[in-house]
Amino acid sequence: MRRLLPLLLLILAFPRIADACSCLESGAACEDYWKASAVFLGRVEKIVPPSKVLAPRRVTLTVIEAFSGVQKGTLEVRTGSSGADCGFAFREGGEYIVYAQRTGSSGLLSVSLCSRTREVSRAAGDLDYARAVASGAPMKARISGDVVFATRSLLRRPVPEPSPLPDVTVSLERDGQVTRVVTGGDGRFSADGLTAGRYTARLDLSEGLYAELWPTTVDLRDDRSCAELHARAFPDGRVSGRVVDASGRPVAGLTIELTVPAGIDDRFDSERLRDLTDSEGRYEIVHIPAGRFVVGINTQRTRDGAPLKPRLFYPGVASVTAASDVTLKTGERVTLRDFVLPRNVVFATVSGIVVDAAGAPAANALVYLKEADYILSEPAITDGSGRFTLAAVAGGSYQLFAERPRDDPASVRVDSSEPISFTAAVDAPPVKLVLRARY
């Protein structure tokens, strides 16, 4: 074990050794051109391999055509030692259109495998655009893209390939002004003649559909730049209802699940869609594809296969075979009658407040209910006063903890609370969770 320790420490210190390079899809030439610090056509004269682990390769190029950020002559760029750390596979004698970034205070140019850099034999469109910009030819900015209709399966099985979605209005807003374009028969759209600035995009879809659009915000950095958007529209079936106890009282803070009955107890079982009941016991599960489903509570099992208790299905039965099926057509919305809990199942209200390190109420924190090492519920989201409500089986032993992302767009860190252990009891006093900067 001692012999493995240095390697383990190296992997922990430099995770790229263990993980392959992962890249987002590159944009169009007229988009990536304006994101790069330098763009040029160059020939590789010399490649100096790394002198030590994790050191970059140094690549010397002759600049054949300088488009932006550099001048003709010879220059050096740096790239990773291999594809595992996003190094671009330059070869001596090869000619490339290079999209480079200046890094750090040194201003050194670096080239990543994730950049649009490519061999000249595959760069005709890039060269045409770069030469047009250099010539001063008149051009206008544009935002284009595609919209397709896709479906999903809660059984985690293959689904049909997405198909183009025509006649969808795409709205692009900048400084309060909206440009609208409509997709054609091929699902494509293009808004031409735009000016530089930040645009927010959205789709105007008919009821029964919802969209996943990326990116939702684009920056046109120049009046000659462009951006490409992609959108998928999915069926937005919905199932709503109310959960009440045996006396007809609403149950708040309870996680309601929707899934397919087939293979519900398989090791690699179906996906669940969830919602948390509100103060009136109401829930609405959204983004449901067409199909046949069951609605329930604690329908999954723990990692070791043990059932969660109580396991119940709509309209209030213990067996999936006795459950009432819920069938939806594409985009259909169904309201169910009350989900009535058996008399022997009593849920206690777990309520409280989340505060930050200074003691101020923490809005939009996520509060989780945990049993042993298994998170039981959808997180409750605290309101503007930092308050939350969850439901737990009376007499059961649980833990509560809260998390909240830092209020910093550049950070992925979160604040979290210490877990609080408790026994769920009817009319228990509220609890208090304090967020700390932990990781």
Biggest CA pair distance of the chain: 84
Kindly indicate the confidence band of residue 359, based on its pLDDT and cuts at 50, 70 and 90.
very high
pTM for the model stands at 0.82
131 shares a domain with 150: no
Of 111, 135, 159, the last residue of a domain is 135
255 within some domain: yes
117 shares a domain with 16: yes
The most confident of the ranges 264-273, 334-343, 399-408 is 334-343
Number of structural domains found in the chain: 4
Find the domain containing 56 and state its range: 11-135
CATH number of residue 193's parent domain? 2.60.40.10
Residue 408: per-residue pLDDT = 67
Residue 1: per-residue pLDDT = 34
Report whether pLDDT(16) > 50.
no
32 shares a domain with 127: yes
Report whether pLDDT(12) > 50.
no
364 within some domain: yes
Average pLDDT, stretch 8-19? 38
Bridge partners (DSSP) listed for residue 198: 219
Residue 308: per-residue pLDDT = 84
Residue 306: per-residue pLDDT = 78
Answer for the pair 386, 355: CB distance below 8 angstroms, yes or no: yes
Backbone phi, then psi, for 128, in 5-degree steps? -60, -45
Report the C-alpha gap between 245 and 341 in whole angstroms: 5
Report the C-alpha gap between 392 and 254 in whole angstroms: 8
Of 235, 250, 284, the last residue of a domain is 235
pLDDT digits (tens, 9 = 90+) for 257-294: 999 998 787 766 689 999 999 999 999 999 999 999 99
Structure tokens at 305: 């296969």
362 shares a domain with 256: no
Answer for the pair 210, 236: CB distance below 8 angstroms, yes or no: yes
53 vs 96 pLDDT, higher one = 96
56 vs 438 pLDDT, higher one = 56
User: Using alpha carbons only, what angle is made at residue 96 by residues 121 and 106, rounded to the nearest 5 degrees?
Assistant: 165
pLDDT digits (tens, 9 = 90+) for 95-141: 999 999 998 777 899 999 999 999 999 999 999 999 999 999 999 99
Answer for the pair 131, 108: CB distance below 8 angstroms, yes or no: no
Name the DSSP letter for residue 302: -
Of 235, 262, 281, the last residue of a domain is 235
Picking from 119, 105, 110, 140, the residue whose alpha carbon sits closest to that of residue 37 is 110
Residue 5: per-residue pLDDT = 38
218 shares a domain with 333: no
Report the C-alpha gap between 266 and 317 in whole angstroms: 20
Strands 226-235, 141-149: pairing kind: parallel
Answer for the pair 341, 244: CB distance below 8 angstroms, yes or no: yes
Kindly indicate the confidence band of residue 344, based on its pLDDT and cuts at 50, 70 and 90.
very high
Residue 113: per-residue pLDDT = 93
Kindly indicate the confidence band of residue 373, based on its pLDDT and cuts at 50, 70 and 90.
confident
Residue 53: per-residue pLDDT = 81
The alpha-carbon radius of gyration of the chain (Å, integer) is 28
Residue 410: per-residue pLDDT = 58
148 shares a domain with 120: no
Answer for the pair 41, 63: CB distance below 8 angstroms, yes or no: yes
Structure tokens at 227: 């951006």
Q: Which of 13-17, 389-393, 415-419 shows the lowest per-residue confidence on average (mean pLDDT)? A: 13-17
425 shares a domain with 363: yes
pLDDT digits (tens, 9 = 90+) for 154-173: 987 889 999 999 999 999 99
Q: Which residues contact 293 (CB under 8 A, 6 or more apart)?
A: 154, 239, 258, 259, 260, 261, 325, 326, 327, 328
Mean pLDDT of the chain: 91
Q: Which residues contact 8 (CB under 8 A, 6 or more apart)?
A: none
123 shares a domain with 156: no
108 within some domain: yes
